[in-house]
Amino acid sequence: MIRVATVSLGCPKNRVDTERILGGLGAHYQPAQSPEAAQVLLVNTCGFLQAAVEESLDTIMEMVRVAQQAPSRPLVVVTGCLVARYGAHVLQQELPEVDLVVDIAGQHQLPERILRHFGLQSAADGRVVSTPPSFAYLKVAEGCSNRCRFCTIPSIRGGLRSRPLEELVAEASACVAAGRRELVLVAQDLTAYGQDLGMRRGLAQLLDALARVPGLSWLRLMYLYPSGLTEELLAGMRDLGAPVLPYFDIPFQHVHPEILAAMGRPFRTQDPRAVVERVRRYFPQAALRTSLIVGYPGETDAHFAALESFVAEAELAHVGVFAFSPEEGTPAAALDQQVPARVRQSRRRRIMALQRRISRRYLARFRDQELEILVDQPSAEWPGLFEGRAWFQAPEVDGVAYVSGPQVRPGAMVRARVDATHDYDLVTLAEDAGDEEGCDFRPMDADGL
């Protein structure tokens, strides 16, 4: 057995890569109780933004420090987006204390290289799911063929490469059979799934197949590009019903057409308001999430005011806001009219304060209602308290539903009454920890979304 400690930085797609590396070790893999007890220290880095680059480098140096102080020096392995962005050869020269630096393209060989280091034979393909027992991520594609001018992903991950549908159904079935009630589909552009495979209805076909997986309670879609949310796709999702959740993660990034054009967004001719209206026409009770960039080069006070008005009017359930970061190697970094950092941060704070008030109102609508809560894990705040989620809360990016009550346990689906709501979280009391398979999609009151 090889004791491995892992640190997976960045997005869920990176986490899935880490899980596959560990799965490739097969029966030789054993999770280390701590980095100090590990024989292998694996860091899967993020390199999307400069802040992520700095976090990755800090984490690598911390693992190097642990390795140097250990009685029996562990193998230090670095992979991921940082390596792809700057090159394995460059990082190996800059970080000679690291034993293995492996590009994303070479991750499939990494288990064999680790096993060979310990004099062991190759194991098998597989995946060690590391999320709480309630859900698993399902990465359906790699890379992105869009060319947004602020984004480093195409240069890091390459163009779109969809995974075969049969392979995804098999992996999904294995996750559900192991007890995962929710699957969260992730890709850089989920609506583009299957285009490179010649599938006309790629994402719709995938949803049709996954919805038939026995025992699946919730199917959540993340990273839906606005241009891909067609009438045909929305109608198909509505007709499928459960387990497909009426949850839509749509990265608008901005709403003003001049900024969208400057960003090189593929849907720059579409009004984000029209996209929101289209989704709500098919799903009146939909929970919508978006990510926004403020302070993009050339963003004037008027451009920002349009964005602020959109957030106020649309009343989305969840909004993430990022201050523009001029990333080396992207066209946006070389643009004129760069917005000062203090202005970027001020605009971010304004949108976040606005969304906090909207989120508080959104959650208040659920007070005294009964909801099904999928229980993730025990809470560190109080003995007997657990963290879970309602259908409108995605794991790791949205708020949580605190839940307590008889028989509440990680992985269970419990029916609970909402006792209190806060800015982003719910407080609920479970009345019966049953094993219902569905989800309550009751429409909100008339003054809701």
- Take residue 378 and report the two structure tokens written for it: 């025990």
Q: Please report the pLDDT score of residue 268 as a whole number.
A: 52
pLDDT of 195 > 80? The answer is yes
* Arithmetic mean of pLDDT over the chain: 91
> Where do the domains of the chain lie?
2-117, 135-364, 370-432
Which amino acid would we find at residue 140?
Answer: V
Using one digit for the tens of pLDDT, what is the confidence trace for 395-413?
999 999 999 988 899 999 9
Query: What is the arithmetic mean of pLDDT over 416-445?
Result: 68
CATH 2.40.50.140 correct for 370-432: yes
CATH (residue range 2-117): 3.40.50.12160
pLDDT tier at 235, thresholds 50, 70, 90: very high
Fold matches, 2-117 and 135-364? no
Using one digit for the tens of pLDDT, what is the confidence trace for 324-347?
998 888 899 888 899 999 999 999
Using one digit for the tens of pLDDT, what is the confidence trace for 77-95?
999 999 999 999 999 999 9
Q: Please report the pLDDT score of residue 447 as a whole number.
A: 29
CATH topology of domain 135-364: pyruvate-formate lyase- activating enzyme (3.80.30)
pLDDT tier at 266, thresholds 50, 70, 90: low
